[in-house]
Every structure is written in C-alpha cells, then in structure tokens.
Amino acid sequence: MVSLDDAVIARLNKNEEHFEILVDPYGAADIIEGKDIDIIQILAIDAIFTDAKKGTHASEEKLEEIFETSDVATIARHIIMHGNIQLTTEQRHKMQENKTKRVIETILKNAMDPQTKTPHPRQRIENAMQEAGIHIDPFKPVRDQVKTTIEAIRQFIPISLEKSKISIKIPAQFAGKAYGVVRNFGTLEKEEWQSDGSWIGIIMIPAGMQDELFEKLNNATKGNVSTKILK
C-alpha cells in the first residue's frame, strides 16, 4: 500500500452523500488509463471515508445503500473513475508533463504528414500544440487526448493517423539479426525465406515509425537492406 505522505484525497458526491479515499495519484491515473492494477495496493488506507482528514469512515450500511456493495476495492475504483482527485500544484505539473510526453510520443509513432508521407518532427508537433492551446489532462487516457490533440492541431499542420505498408528484403548474412528488428515493429502481413537464406516480407507499421524502422534495419545490415513503401 502507498504511504500517507504520498497519497491524495479522491472525492465523490453520489446521491447527496460524500465519500473519500486516500490514494496514490499516479496509481489512480493508471487505473483511469485502463491498466490492470490492484486498487488496494494504491490506497494508503483500506477504507472508504466520509471525511478522510478527520478519519471518519463511511458506514457499511451507507455503502451498501449507495453503491450496492461494501467492497472497498469496487467502491474505490468507482470513486477514482467518477470522482475528483485532489493534486498538489507540484503533482499536477509533474503528471501533466509526463502525460504530455506520452501524448506526443504516441502522435510521433502513429501520425504523419499526408502531403509528404513522412513523420512530423517532434518540435513541429510541440509548436502546433502550443499554437492550438492544447491542455493535457493528467487523468484522461492518452488515447482520448491523442485524438483531440490531432483534431486541434490540424488547423496548423497537415496531419493524419495512417499506417505504412513496407516491403523489405534482407540478405542472408544479415537475415538473423535484422529479422528480429522487423518482428518488433507492426504486423507482418507476408514473409518468405528464400533458398539462398535471404528474407523478404511485407510489414504494416504506424506511419510515424518509418524512420526508426529504416534506421534500425540499416544498422543491423550495415546498409545492405532493400525497402520500399507500398502504402
């Protein structure tokens, strides 16, 4: 369980009743993101309160009446998903900064300039987000904020979420090492080992990962790789 020093209060008003828990804010953010986490492990105290600062516990009867259960984990999840989590200024800044980085990384990996068919540089994405006045919520899932961010920055840069289909041919002497690189990217749609030991295949990857794939393949084969963007 999390220490009291690291916990914050999450509050929920339901049916004119007030409930609180003491929870790790980072763990709560992971729960909202959809990660499989033991909620009890991110609580400072295994209990539901009506006033956490005073240590006033909610009665089992009241919990059953409002939530139709007295199970702490179930109710705590409900409070995290539907209530308000109180952060310090420092915590909010840190969590917002981390979530912003994740949103940007996801955009970089999955989006591209539809005009040039190439990924946007990080700085261009950051500048567009600043121009659009994007505010990243530390508690909203990354996937949801990626969508709204892309919609907002389209007025400043051409951008779309696309996949790239790439054909690859690796010579026999580099096939073992380079094949491992390919397997770590996207989805292999077709592959075939040739009689001379070389490998050919077609892979579908997020468009923004093209440059990273090409760089790693070139490193693994010392530049002896053939690639072609099919889509």
The total domain count for the chain is: 3
- Tokens found for residue 213: 């794939």
Assigned domain for 2 exists: no
Give the structural domain span for 51.
Answer: 7-85
Which residue spans within the chain are E strands per DSSP?
8-14, 17-23, 49-51, 56-57, 84-85, 111-112, 160-161, 163-170, 187-193, 199-206, 226-229
By C-alpha distance, which of 68, 65, 80 is closest to 29?
Answer: 80
Task: Encode pLDDT of 38-91 as tens digits.
Answer: 999 999 999 999 999 999 999 999 999 999 999 999 999 999 999 999 998 888
- DSSP 3-state of 150: helix
Residue that finishes a domain, picked among 161, 188, 219: 161
Q: Are residues 11 and 81 in the same domain?
A: yes
Contact 125, 136 (CB under 8 A): no
Assess whether pLDDT exceeds 80 at residue 231.
no
Name the residue among 82, 87, 85, 72 with its Cα closest to residue 38.
72
- Of 47, 63, 85, the residue that ends a domain is 85
pLDDT per residue over 133-170, tens digit each? 999 999 999 989 999 999 999 999 999 887 889 999 99
Contact assessment for residue 56 and residue 49, using Cβ atoms and an 8 Å cutoff: yes
